[in-house]
Each structure stands twice: as structure tokens, then as C-alpha cells.
Structure 1
């Protein structure tokens, strides 16, 4: 039986605590340091290692490690251009991502994954919108949405989460589970849901749409998809990940090519891709650009920070409002011959 994301994250926290405690004990027992200083140094060493890992991820992703510029798909002429960050803005982006990653992986996912999302407000743009199904990314669980959920609820959106398991499984195996959940929501509420997806979750949502094509008599399984930092063309860091899903997310992988070839223009038109030019995981920059979709580009926000940064939350609410308006608009008249 495979471990859940929460169990894996708790194990990682235990390893960090053991490393800090071991270093502290060594400094106190063998070097004669006072225990308070030894404990503080042990904890600081773990934090420094943690921060170094985030910095390496930024460098590898923004530089497109191992991916030549010629291999990257050109952006349309009218696409927004990447802005260069000044030193202060870059430092704020980095420190914000360190805080977001630490909170997400050392607190929310390991210890808060059983929390329920807040009930929606009685007013707001989401009051008349379909239910929002929240889809997490690689190696995660639905607890990643706990920081954004209050803003979604305050805007009137009804939200449900899903855990994609096994953690290191095949994205094609996540698609039936996701599709079944979408159809369950439609059965219960009378309306196809909106999907809000982070990172790999956006790829799973696209795969579920393609899977639904096999049922030719079925209506579209969702009212629209918002992706946050999804690596639609692949990810430079995926080569270092474990599991079949990581291999599927490698840059320009055959799986991604097959997925793109199976999509229709109507599917792409139901997608809004929100991304940051300074994403620390989904890169190189431009990987979240998906031809035929709508796009909301941000800057100075890291990958995990997209789940809690005020500008990312505002963009998410804008994207949901766009798709919600599409879902409630009367059908267009078609010409008859």
C-alpha cells in the first residue's frame, strides 16, 4: 500500500527534526556548546539547507536547466513579456517562496489535511457559479488550498477538494477519478463544476477532459479549468522527480505531446492559465503558455506562492469569474441552412 502525501510529508518533517536534533546533540556533547546555542544552531542549519534548496530550484527553473532556448516553443507576438526583477523584488519573491514552501510542506499538508473548507458567503460573484473542484499538484494533497479557500468562500464559491493517489502514480490513472468526481458534482448540483488546479493538477484536468471524449453523448465534464503554474509543455526539474507522473512532466515528453494532440479547440477555450514568469518549479518560463487558452501572467511570485499571494488570489478570482460568466451565458444562436 502506497503512503499518502500527508504521511510522506510527516516523514520529511521527522527527518528534518532528527537532523536538527542530531547536529545539536553533537555540538553540545562533543564540542561542549551550551544546549540553547546548540539547539538554535541545529535548527538554523536545517533552515539554511531548506533555503538553499529553494534557491537552487529557482536557478534551475528560470535558467531552463538542460533545455536549450531553441527547444522552447516561441510565444505569440501578442503574449505579455517577462519582466526583469530588481534585486529587492527578487529577494521578496525568494523569501516569500521560502515561507510558502515551509508552511505548505511542513505544516498544512502533513498536519492539516483533514480540515474542511469554509462555507461560501451568501453573496459575491461565486454565489451563482458552479461548484469549484480544487485539484492539487505533484506529491501533494488538498491541504494546499487551505490558504486560498477563505478568499474563495468569501467570494461565494462552493469548493470541494480531491486527493489524487497514489502520490507517484500515472496521470492517466488520475483522470478517471477526477472525471468521476466531476460527474458526481454534476449529478448532485445539476451543473458541471469549475476546476481550479495547481501545477500537475492542470495536466490531470486536461487528461480528464480528453478521457470524457470517449463518451460521445456526454456534455463537457466541466464548465472550465483554471490552471495555476501548470507546466503545460513540461518542467526542467521533472527529470529529478520520482514516479511515472514526474516522467510524464519532463520537458516535451511524449505523454504531453499525446495529450495536446487529443485536445480540441473547444477544450482549450475553456482553460485559463495563470502563471508567473518567476515560477520556481514550473519552468523554463513560458511552459504555462497553452495555445488556444486564455492567460493571466504575473511576475515576482514563486510556484507555491501562487497558492497564497494576494495578486495570485485576485487573478484566480478573475479567472473563475470569466469562466463562471461563460457557464451562465445563454447559448449562442447557430445558423441553420
Structure 2
């Protein structure tokens, strides 16, 4: 569904731009170019507002605060990454590469890739080839309904875990971006999944919710309110030591999940990647390489010996 929505949005914007040029160019080239420039500046301004709010809220957070140069760099990078993800990859390339589930176990841990809010499996497109080259079977899920409860995603994750386990003979690793990490925790709660997953890696997940969650009207968005009832109940239902199952990548320039420390779990392997924006985190080579290193360490010790 999200692919259709984003495709409609993208095509609509392009048609509006084309119609504006057809209308305005014969009358005034200056107005024609100026109208497009205004739309571009509006996009830049909205993204700048996100980073400004992030920096202000982070002032009271114990995590290391980003320098101004880091914030500007992250803003500039996110402008391009967001356009690529939301206006090309997700709307038009979500099924360009299939999941890879080899039939014969190869001693390598498989992976379940879980996207976040307003995303689909195409978020992970740069990960597919490196995972396959390293011998890791993978399935990238699509979480539906798009605006439903996070609890409703547990069956989708459960089915993917079962398929990857069947393909490899090993408990998989879950790699989750943003809301996907909360969906993984909800799956662990609903399906007693701890014994059937080797590790959970989260990238920019609002484990305690996020300041921006207060503005959402979607069911899953409201569940991500900072220190809200849903995230509180989720944490309260987890057994002692559950966080040791997690590696949490987080950033002091995350323009969606802030304050910064909300993307960490006490007792987890928390890894700060400074100066990286929210969607950009899932596209950073060092994050990908770090996750591949964790997967290599998680290989079946019997097969690898």
C-alpha cells in the first residue's frame, strides 16, 4: 500500500510541476522558474525545521550533542537520501529484487529485515547484494497495515522468521530500522521469539518513543509517543536481561527519533554513529559493514569450525 501511496504522491508532484511550467513559461520564465524554486525551498525549510527542533530537544539529553557542522551535513545528506527512498526506491522499486532464501543450509545466519514507519522493503535495497555475497539468506518484510497498530505486525515477522530458519537451519538475526525495532520487540512479546532469534539489531529505533510522536494521528505513530503508554507497557513486559539480545545504532543527528538517548536500551550494545540523519542511517556503509561484522560473529560455530 505504501508503494502505491508514494507513487501517487510522486507522480502527482511531477504532474503539478509540468502543468505549472506549461502554464507559466509562456507568460513569464521568471515566474515559472521561481515557482519551482519555491517548492524546492519549501522542502529544504521543512527538513531544516526537523533538524532545528532535534537540536533544541537534544540540549537536555545526556548523549553527546552534535556540533553545528554535523547537523548541517546530516540535513544536507538527508535531503538527497529521503528523495531517493520515498520518491524512487519505495514507490517504484519495492519488488525489483526478491528475497534470497537458499534451499540448502550454508552455516551462515539468515536475516529478517524490518523497515519502519512510512517505509517498505525497498528501504533495504543497498543491503541485498552485500548480504547475498556474504552468504546470508534474507527476507525483507512489508509491514501492513501501514497505519495500523505495531502489535499487528507480529504475524508478519513470525512468518519471515520461520521461512528464514527453514532455509538456513539456524535462528536468524533481525535487522530493524526505526519503528521496525519496536515491531521486533512486540513480536518477541507476542510470539515468545527470544529462543528463535539469534540477535536483534536496531537502527534509529525509538525504544522510548520520540518527541515527534505526539503529532501523529496514526495508530502506530501514537504508540511511538515519547515515554508513552504503549512503549512503557512494552518495556514492562520484557524479562530482565532482554536488552542483551540487542545492538542499537543511534545518532545525535537523528531528525525523527529524538532525544538521542531514546534510541538506546539499557543493557544493550549501544553504538553511537555521530552526525547521521534518520533515513540516512539505513544507507550508511559503516552501519552496513558493522552489521555484516556482527553477522559474521553470529555464524554457526559448529559449521564454521
TM normalised by structure 2 equals 0.88
2:77 maps to what in 1?
A: 96
Which of the residues 146, 168, 178 maps onto 1:167? 146
Contact 1:117 1:159 in 2 (8 A): no
Which segment is superposed worse, 146-155 or 283-292? Answer: 146-155
Tell me if 1:82 matches 2:64: yes
Deviation of 1:26 (Å): 4.6
| Structure 2: gaps (5+ residues) | none
1:302 maps to what in 2?
A: 277
Tell me if 1:287 matches 2:262: yes
Question: Any idea what SS the aligned residue of 2:126 has?
Answer: coil
Q: 1:170 to 1:286 in 2, by over 3 A?
A: same
1:116 maps to what in 2?
A: 97
Equivalent residue pairs, number: 300
Contact 1:25 1:38 in 2 (8 A): no
Contact 2:176 2:184 in 1 (8 A): yes
State the distance in 2 between where 1:285 and 1:150 align. 31
Q: 1:180 to 1:280 in 2, by over 3 A?
A: same
State the distance in 2 between where 1:241 and 1:172 align. 17
State the distance in 2 between where 1:153 and 1:49 align. 40
Deviation of 1:115 (Å): 1.3
Tell me if 1:202 matches 2:181: yes
CA RMSD of aligned residues (A): 2.7
Contact 2:209 2:227 in 1 (8 A): yes
Which of the residues 34, 40, 57 maps onto 1:47? 40
Matches within 5 A, 1:141-180: 141-180=120-159
Contact 1:226 1:319 in 2 (8 A): no
Which of the residues 19, 23, 28 maps onto 1:33? 28
State the distance in 2 between where 1:164 and 1:171 align. 9
State the distance in 2 between where 1:239 and 1:19 align. 31
TM normalised by structure 1 equals 0.80
Question: Any idea what SS the aligned residue of 1:226 has?
Answer: strand
Contact 1:61 1:237 in 2 (8 A): no
Contact 1:165 1:174 in 2 (8 A): yes
Matches within 5 A, 1:150-299: 150-213=129-192, 220-299=195-274
Q: 1:10 to 1:38 in 2, by over 3 A?
A: farther
State the distance in 1 between where 2:249 and 2:296 align. 13
Deviation of 1:266 (Å): 4.2
